[in-house]
Structure 1
């Protein structure tokens, strides 16, 4: 059978104040075109369909139309909730999804059988897919108790609960003649972050070893990390990555979807198909004179300016580069004062402390100090 594996769409993403609605329409249209060309039996979207738990109506339209278009290619479509999604809200769409022939699993609920999806290809090849939407630490413990696993103890880690839950949910993977698949929204120990993920959900105890996956799984389709990559695991395991760079930390990523060919008696073969519909993200640095020579009209820019801070510098940069979404002083220009004694707060006025801050940034612009004095006087007068 053939699988199209994608994840981390993040529809509704706003990048430094700039909406990416049109980019998402182009990117997901290209994903649909890949599905039409490759004719997969199954499409798996491994979480983070949305960028926020409260998506706009426009974002909802983009996602539901993309899911419908993928289903209309003839593929069976399964999507799970990620850490950016509102799992219960996705589950509320299940009546619509079921009517459209789409499977949505937004959150782990109290019926384990609902997380196991079964199907059959047009050629009669049977498959089963264990779905594991994103679980917070609190709900991982609850899920472990809900499925009558070993009682949660205070010192058990998030990885312990995820391992027990996967073992419980994949206990039907011993059936002969069936392709065993698993999809989850997780951070795996040793995998490379893409650069734009929500940090609190990639560290702080959320990393899980790849040994949680069963050896008899034919393919594990992961979401959460935005860089396409294979994971060393007891079974074939892969992150598809995001089909577009979500933030400037991902500008070097190659956006793609994964096409997977797998059979009961054949190892999974994976190839990445590039997705090029998004505007490129690029970081440039230099003095104003150097930035005047930059010619990247078709990219969103992060600009690291090699000039001393001053009033109006941002505006000067944006006049040169209208597509600059982020402008800041190059960190290499900032003085290293780590070894100097910090200014003492006790007994010092706000004006003096603000003056110390400006001095630490080599900002000698008297206009900034005068503006601070005016604002401070206004606030003090009305407090």
Structure 2
């Protein structure tokens, strides 16, 4: 059978104030085009469909239309909730999803069977997916208790609970392609650069050994860089189909196409997704930045000039596509460890002059004039 594995769409993402609605439409249209061309039997979307737990109506339309279009290619579609998603809200969409022939799982339910999805390809190959949405550490304990496993003790780790859940839902019957999809961090994997760190730190990491060796393929979401993780079975992150933040500019957005049978190992092909606007970081003085060709990319600019009033505006005029502008940390003045002078009996203008001196702006007369003007206005 053939699987198209994608994750971390983050529809609704706003990058430094820039809406990316049109980019998401283009990116997901390209993912659908890959599905039409490669003809997968199954599409797995491994979480973080949205960037926020309260998506806008526009974001909801983009996601539901993309899932519907993927189903219209003839593939079965299984999608799970991630840490950015509102799991309960995704579950509320299940009546629509069921009617559309889409399997949607937002939260862990008290019925283990609800997280096991089975099917048969047009060629007669049986498959089985364990679909595990994102689990908070607190809910992982509750989930193991719901499944009547060994008593969940407070000192047990997050990895213990996830491992128990996967083991309880796993199966090794022959002549079936066994799959797992989950939204979590696996020890040894590399972060993509734009993830929510609170849900990626070691307390949320699990070893690849939680996945049974009989599993033919583990389709993961959560980390935004496409990568294989060493484990007892094929374990892989598809990565995000677009760079979510500037920390991901070196990633290659893609989806994974997986060919596997019950008796042959998984073969993975990365298919690049190129529709999103590239992200670039550029550095230099104003003179050097004036020669930069943005080429349609969104820019993060590191300015190698001493900070001063109007610098941001000058950069923005040179590079209108700059979404983030910062001064090179090497050019920022070092913190002054000397004792602060007394403020008693000193005028606001004198105190502000001390501040400018401490920040390396003693000669910036423009800022002094702006402060004096502002102080005069608020003192009237």
1:256-280, CA deviations, whole angstroms, 9 ceiling, x for partnerless residues? 0000000000000001000000000
- Structure 2 match to 1:239: 237
Among 233, 253, 269, the alignment partner of 1:255 is 253
- The answer to whether structure 1 residue 215 and structure 2 residue 208 are counterparts is no
Q: 1:94 to 1:309 in 2, by over 3 A?
A: same
Aligned residues: 377
Q: Distance in 1 between matches of 2:342 and 2:186?
A: 46
What is the aligned partner in structure 1 of residue 327 from structure 2? 329
**Does the residue aligned with 1:277 lie in a helix, a strand or coil?**
coil
The corresponding residue for 2:273 is 275
**Structure 1 unmatched runs, 5+:** none
Match of residue 309, structure 1, among 283, 302, 307:
307
Contact 1:260 1:268 in 2 (8 A): yes
Deviations 1:121-165 (A, max 9, x none): 001100000011001111111111111122222221111111111
The answer (yes or no) to whether the contact 1:345–1:353 under 8 Å persists in 2 is: no
Partner of 2:337: 341
1:92 paired residue number: 92
SS at the partner of 2:77?
strand
C-alpha change, 1:2 and 1:358, in structure 2 (3 Å) is farther
Check 1:153–1:292 CA distance in 2 against 1; reply closer, same or farther (3 A cut). same
Contact persistence 2:43–2:75 (CA under 8 A): yes
2:120 corresponds to which residue?
A: 120
Distance 1:319 1:125, change over 3 A: same
* Cα distance between partner residues in 1 of 2:260 and 2:343: 71
The one-character-per-residue Cα deviations of 1:54-101 (angstroms, maximum 9, x if unpaired) are 000100010000000000000000000000000000000000001000
Alpha carbons of 1:179 and 1:373: their partners in 2 closer, same or farther (altered >3 Å)? farther
Q: How many Å apart are 1:367 and its aligned residue?
A: 4.7
Distance 1:359 1:269, change over 3 A: farther
The structural deviation recorded for 1:332 is: 2.5
**Structure 2 equivalent of residue 74 of structure 1:** 74
Q: Distance in 2 between matches of 1:165 and 1:5?
A: 22
2:10 is matched with: 10
DSSP-derived class of the 2:260 partner:
strand
Which of 188, 191, 203 aligns to 1:190? It is 188
Query: Which deviations, in whole Å up to 9, do the C-alpha atoms of 1:282-322 show, x marking residues without a partner?
Result: 00011111100001131000000011111111111111111
Asked if structure 2 preserves the Cα contact closer than 8 Å seen for 1:283 and 1:302, the reply is yes
| Structure 2 residue runs without a partner (length 5+) | none
Structure 1 residues 356, 148: closer, same or farther in 2, change over 3 A?
A: farther
Please report the TM-score for the alignment, with normalisation by the length of structure 2. 0.93
- Select which of 263, 266, 269 maps to 1:265: 263
Taking the aligned partners of 1:100 and 1:202, their CA distance within structure 2 comes to: 33
Q: Please say if residues 166 and 213 of structure 1, whose CA atoms lie closer than 8 Å, have aligned partners that are also in contact.
A: yes
C-alpha distance in 1, partners of 2:58/2:347? 45
